[in-house]
Chains A and B, each alone.
Chain A
Amino acid sequence: MPDTLLTIRDLHVAYGPKPILRGAGFDVRRGECLTLLGANGSGKSTSMNAICGFVRPSAGSVSLEGTELAGRPAHAIFAQGVAQVSQARDLFPDLTVEDNLRLGAMRRGGRESGETLAHVYARFPRLAERRAQAARTLSGGEQQMVAIGRAMMSRPRLLLLDEPSGGLSPQFCEEIARIIDQLKADGVTLLMVEQNLNLAFRAADRFIVLRDGRVVDGGDVAAMAGDHDAIVRNIYL
């Protein structure tokens, strides 16, 4: 049986009376990249936000190696080593690239943060060149690099990536895929939401499909190679 890092069971999330997740459940295995697929509005971002404490599940369990996270505040979950790169990126626009990155390590990452910063700059040389520039002056792709770099600064055990390719060019998608490979090599476990199926299948080990608030399908990416059509039908129809 594979080693599981995150276990989600029977997760329910509602915004007011409107239920979004209705009993979703899945596992994320240690060291893998799992991709969460689903139509627009199917609750992918909501799932990410429920895991990292931005929304409070009304029922169900989110367990990180036996530690229950559901219902705990976001900063406490972050302290357990769960970081998110959100769909909106949520950078600090008027702070410099370097300050944005360093902030990622201030509450977690501690003494090695200088080393981690060097590591992030090595991964993203473009950010090193622009370290003194305000984040709002960067291009969309560069901003996404800052968002990913900022999350890396906390040395997370589980990294949540919400549509890392959103609105970016194909070259950038390839770059994201390489970063994901490197993160996996560093021992980081990833849960990714991605609409770009090329990226989703290039970078991920497994996928699951969210529909009507539940997980309806899933499998190994390798086994599905070349059969994207079947998956697409399952997601969007």
Chain B
Amino acid sequence: MLMQLTLSGASQGAIYALVALSLTVVYRSTTVVNFGHGDLVMSGAFVAYVLVVGLGLAFLPAAVIAVVAMFGLGVCFSRGLIRPIRGGPHIGFALMSIALGYTLRGIARTVWGREVLPMPRVFDIEPIFLGDVVLTGDALFTIATVAVLLGLFFAMLTFTDIGKMVQAVYQSERGARLVGINVSRFHDLSWGTGAALGAVGGILIAPVSFLHPDLGASFLIKGFAAMTLGGFGSLGGAVLGGVVLGLAEQYAGAYIDTALIDITAYLLIILVLLVRPRGLFGRKAVVKV
């Protein structure tokens, strides 16, 4: 029982980790909290859905195209709608991201109404039984994909010149400009990366749950909860927070009350903000939202 819960919690948590990380990527580089992020996650899933169900593409190429498309959308959003309002009040960014989110959601609703769409399963392999634990292909695929992606992400951040430049911008934007980094373009690429990573989350969840235009809202909150748990603004914290949230939902749902699954995220946000505002892993506070 515990093993089974841990497995499904980890697979759910992997998605949350990805969503929280992608939110943090945008937040750290631009200081913008992207309230439209859930809808980017949803859009990524829908683009993949259209390619698979509408055009008959295989899952993998469809997923890659969807991720690239969402990267492009993120870059265009930053370049076209965020850059022009950069001199203005900070709240403008939040409003702009909310407007983007609702626009995407509106488009999805116009096309699909409030239908709930099943995405074909990717790994329709026979579940593997290990004792009384059931390993589904989807869970394994999700956990493995996220693990590889996160491994690559953090390796790049730590060991490559590009990663050093990213850290440089995070630590001092003026310093980054002093060493010739094009900070505006960096912001655009961060939005692109955030949108692409979020889309991966949406695409991974699509085959195991149902697609609907309002899918994004719950992911946004899960992402915020994971970020709060990990210390708002910390990249590694977002990942750990996502996993902890995924596990907490499953344990609370099984051992206390199933109703708790849906509200664990909100409860954790409230609890952490009151008791440990810097997050579970206690990094130094990261400034302004």
Contact = CB atoms under 8 A, between A and B. Distances in A.
Tell me, yes or no, whether A binds B.
yes
Interface in A103-158: 103-104, 106-108, 150-151, 154
Given A95-B171, A99-B164, A104 B179 contact: yes
Given A73-B184, A103-B164, A103-B165, A93 B179 contact: no
Nearest to B167: A95
Interface string B170-196: 011011011111111000000000000
B172 A154 contact: no
A88 interface: yes
A102 B175 contact: no
Given A95-B164, A99-B164, A78 B180 contact: yes
Contact of A54 (B168, B177, B179, B180): B177
Given A79-B180, A106-B179, A108-B180, A93 B171 contact: yes
Contacts of B181: 75, 106-107
B161 interface: yes
Interface string A51-93: 0101000000000000000000111001100011010101111
Nearest to B164: A99
A93 B168 CA distance: 9
A91 B179 CA distance: 10
8 tightest CB-CB pairs across the interface, nearest first? A107-B180, A78-B180, A90-B175, A75-B182, A90-B174, A92-B171, A74-B177, A103-B179
Given A106-B161, A106-B164, A106-B165, A91 B172 contact: yes
A10 interface: no
Nearest to A151: B178
A94 B170 CA distance: 10
Interface in B143-160: none
B178 A75 contact: no
Contacts of A106: 161, 164-165, 179-181
Counting contact residues on chain A (CB < 8 A from B), the size range is 20 to 34
A99 to B, nearest CB: 6
Contacts of A54: 174, 177
A91 B202 CA distance: 38
Contacts of A92: 167-168, 171-172, 175
Nearest to A75: B182
23 contacts: A54-B174, A74-B177, A74-B180, A75-B177, A75-B180, A78-B180, A88-B174, A91-B172, A91-B175, A92-B167, A92-B171, A94-B167, A95-B167, A95-B168, A95-B171, A99-B164, A103-B179, A106-B165, A107-B180, A108-B180, A150-B178, A150-B179, A154-B180
A107 B181 CA distance: 7
Residue among A92, A94, A102, A104 facing the most chain B CB atoms (10 A cut-off): A92
Nearest to A147: B178
B90 to A, nearest CB: 18
A171 to B, nearest CB: 26
Contacts of B164: 95, 99, 102-103, 106
Nearest to A82: B180
Contacts of B172: 90-93
